[in-house]
Chain A
Amino acid sequence: MTALATEPRVRTQARRPEPPPRRRHRWFVPLLFVGPALVLQLTFLFLPLANTFVLAFTNASTIGGGTFTGLANFTELMSDTTFWHAVGRTFVYMLVAVPALVIISTCLAVLVNTRLRGTALVRPLLFSPMVLPLAVIAVVFQYLLDSDGLVNQILAGLQLVSEPVPFLSDPDLALFSLTAVTVWKGCALYTLITLAALQNVSAELDEAAQLDGAGWLRRTVGVTLPQIRGTTVMIAILAAIATLRVFTEPYIITGGGPGDSTQTIVVYLFQKGISPGTDAGYASAISLVLFVFVLTVSSISWLISRKARA
């Protein structure tokens, strides 16, 4: 009886264990986790960014010194024709490169996504530009597009031209030659993103359209592509930002020339403020204006995409 009477009590005790001691979180523990990343970000991103804002209102040089000059840099920038020509050229670059990048990468992604013989071989080839540094690509294209480079040799071999085409030394042609390099390099990444989006497209809708008698092209244009519109818009925004900040291609391949025909905003910024120029204040003002351009283009693209989604 005693045993019967005590057994349930024991069970009850087993069901209700002692609550574990309350763990005390020190306030600094989360900081220890995010601290290193935060310090790196603060030192190498936010501090230089804030520094640029301050320098833009000074006449500082790259070796130090300088005083606050108010809006003098911006006033000068407004009347700097070289800068505005660089702005015009950069926007032309963007207007040519962005549609080309979006259209070509979408087409390539659709093709790669299609079950055809040889796509397994095409994929690694297609993505190879991603693993090459842009500086290397620029040098390779410099050799390809020279007057006695591979492209001109092929054109001459096919008897399409009698004289070498001055891809890089003609002021009217050089900017578009550089755009081709940007498109070639950028296509790999944007194709990969688009391909990832295509993998998530609903197969049922495609099958339904197929049952309705729609052909491959009709299904792709009418069913598949509308489903990845969000990704396409994102690619357009990314490409627009990248082309507004284009630097490596013009700097390495043509040095901004011939004349100033391939001088983009960032090339001009670099030449004024880093090398060979030393006007850090003016260069910072240029970078702030570029920041506004990037923000504006991104905002417009985002508004358009939101309207399209609605």
Chain B
Amino acid sequence: MTALQRSPWFTAVAVGAALLLSSCGLGGGSTTGEVEVGGEVKGTIRFQTMQLSPTFDKYLSGVVDAFEAAHPGTTVEWTDIPADAAARKTSADAIAGTLPDVLDLDIATLAPLGRKGLVVDMAKSASDLRGGYVASAWDSFALGDTGAAALPWYLNTPVLISNQAVLRKAGLLGSPEPTGYDDLLARSAQIAKSAGVAGFQPTGSSFSSYLLTVGAPLVDADSTKAVVNTPEAVAFVQKLAELYKTGGIPRDSITAKDRSEIETFSEGKTAYLESGGSRLKIIKENSPATFAEVAVGKPLGDATKRTWLVAHGLAVPKSSGNLPTALAFAKFLTSAENQLALAKQSSVFPSTTSSLQDPFFAIGDGDLTATARRIAAASLRDGKTIVQPPAADSEYAAALWSAVQPAILGKSSPAEALADAEAKLTKILQERQQ
């Protein structure tokens, strides 16, 4: 009788414990070893994009239909998720073992999956395609021991947008464009003095790109130690601190949100904005008066071949139940012709070098959007972009920006702040090795 009374409790405890342990996520639910990607291309796969619907519904449906027609017996189920939910959904899916078969992700979101070896290493499974992609784009997906965590899909790289009205007020209209950050900082001081307007607004997410462009390598060769406390970086932060005092950068830029720099520029509060050409559309819609005064030029890393790059890639989780079809679809979608078709109806750039040779990227004088496209495509085509070390991801960027803020405000010295940043960042990098 006692045994009979206890049994429901034992069952409840056992079920509870099982649920608890399975919910812990300690198992991971995904394969981490080597996987076989060969086999027949057939069956159903799930494909997930990041905020491409509804703008690109027609394009993506067309590509899916074309793939299914080229590979009879296959079905691609496409879903689209908001960009701000991507990180959380990816984590939840990874724990539950329900990651889609093909994932469109940016490097920051993909980084944890790549470092843990949860996605197919394209450097092994699609090594023959490497030569067809922009080198910096391919290299940007090297995450931990995974040579290439995704096939590069669409890219973006900046141009320098300037407000001619502010430059006119500062007496700089017609002067040569700044060719690097040294130039930009010197000019910002001059603009603040002459026109009472800031030169540009530094941002947290781009700060590691600034340091990379001025010559700080960010991490050492094996990504186990941060390297930001260099003379170039100290000089850069020192100049930013001086600009903060004199109004060369906006007063609220230290705590401003990312993307607020576009708003600041649109309001005529800054003279320069280094950003993707797609921002021109936002400026035109929000502030036609400023747009009428806008000009675009080469990015600040052009002369030193250190222009930053943003890449989205198509990853195939090892947990996929249909790896051959998933890989075939990722290759199909990132093929040169499909990427060119996407680029022609958007403001992004293809990651395939042959697509960048298309005349579409060579035309464009007079029209600002076309000019921006020509300049940015040239950066990609001519090898002027630099791959940021994958270890310098969003966590790295946030910690770095937080550490240098007191120095920019004049509350600590740049050398102290960068030494502090280096120690904190090295700790983060070393924890990842464990």
Query: Taking beta carbons and an 8 Å cutoff, which residues of A are in contact with B?
Result: 47-48, 50-51, 54-55, 58-68, 82, 146-148, 164, 166, 168-171, 174, 253-260, 271, 274-280
Say yes or no: A168 contacts B252, CB within 8 Å: yes
Q: Which residues of A contact B28 (CB under 8 A)?
A: 63-66
Residue on A nearest B23 in the bound complex, by CB: A51
Which residue of A50, A164, A259 contacts B402 across the interface (Cβ within 8 Å)? A259
| With known contacts A63-B90, A63-B94, A168-B252, A258–B405 Cβ distance under 8 A | yes
Say yes or no: B24 contacts A255, CB within 8 Å: no
Does any Cβ of A come within 8 Å of B255's Cβ? yes
CB distance from A286 to the nearest CB of B (A): 15
Residues in B81-124 with C-beta less than 8 Å from chain A: 87-88, 90-91, 94-95, 108, 112-113, 116, 118
Query: Taking beta carbons and an 8 Å cutoff, which residues of B are in contact with A?
Result: 19-21, 23-30, 32, 87-88, 90-91, 94-95, 108, 112-113, 116, 118, 204, 250-252, 254-255, 257, 393-395, 397-398, 401-403, 405-406, 409, 411, 424, 428, 431, 434
| With known contacts A50-B20, A64-B28, A171–B406 Cβ distance under 8 A | yes
Q: What are the 8 tightest A-B residue pairs by CB atom distance, in nearest-first order?
A: A64-B28, A276-B395, A63-B94, A65-B28, A276-B394, A147-B251, A64-B95, A62-B91
Cα-based distance from A293 to B350 in the complex (angstroms)? 52
Q: Which residues of B contact A254 (CB under 8 A)?
A: 255
Residue on B nearest A174 in the bound complex, by CB: B255
Cα-based distance from A58 to B28 in the complex (angstroms)? 13
Residue from B24, B250, B252, B401 having most chain A Cβ neighbours under 10 A: B24
Cα-based distance from A147 to B406 in the complex (angstroms)? 17
Say yes or no: B116 contacts A277, CB within 8 Å: no
Q: Which residues of A contact B91 (CB under 8 A)?
A: 62-63, 278
Residue on B nearest A277 in the bound complex, by CB: B395
Say yes or no: B94 contacts A51, CB within 8 Å: no
Cα-based distance from A146 to B88 in the complex (angstroms)? 31
Say yes or no: A259 contacts B255, CB within 8 Å: no
Residue from A58, A271, A277, A279 having most chain B Cβ neighbours under 10 A: A277
Say yes or no: A169 contacts B409, CB within 8 Å: yes
Say yes or no: A257 contacts B405, CB within 8 Å: yes
Say yes or no: A63 contacts B95, CB within 8 Å: yes
Cα-based distance from A166 to B253 in the complex (angstroms)? 12
Residue on A nearest B251 in the bound complex, by CB: A147
Residue from A147, A148, A257 having most chain B Cβ neighbours under 10 A: A257
Cα-based distance from A48 to B32 in the complex (angstroms)? 26
Say yes or no: A54 contacts B24, CB within 8 Å: yes
Say yes or no: A280 contacts B25, CB within 8 Å: yes
Cα-based distance from A271 to B116 in the complex (angstroms)? 20
16 A-B contacts (beta carbon < 8 Å): A47-B19, A51-B20, A55-B24, A63-B116, A82-B424, A164-B251, A168-B252, A171-B406, A255-B255, A258-B409, A259-B405, A259-B409, A274-B88, A275-B87, A277-B395, A277-B428
CB distance from B248 to the nearest CB of A (A): 14
Cα-based distance from A276 to B402 in the complex (angstroms)? 13
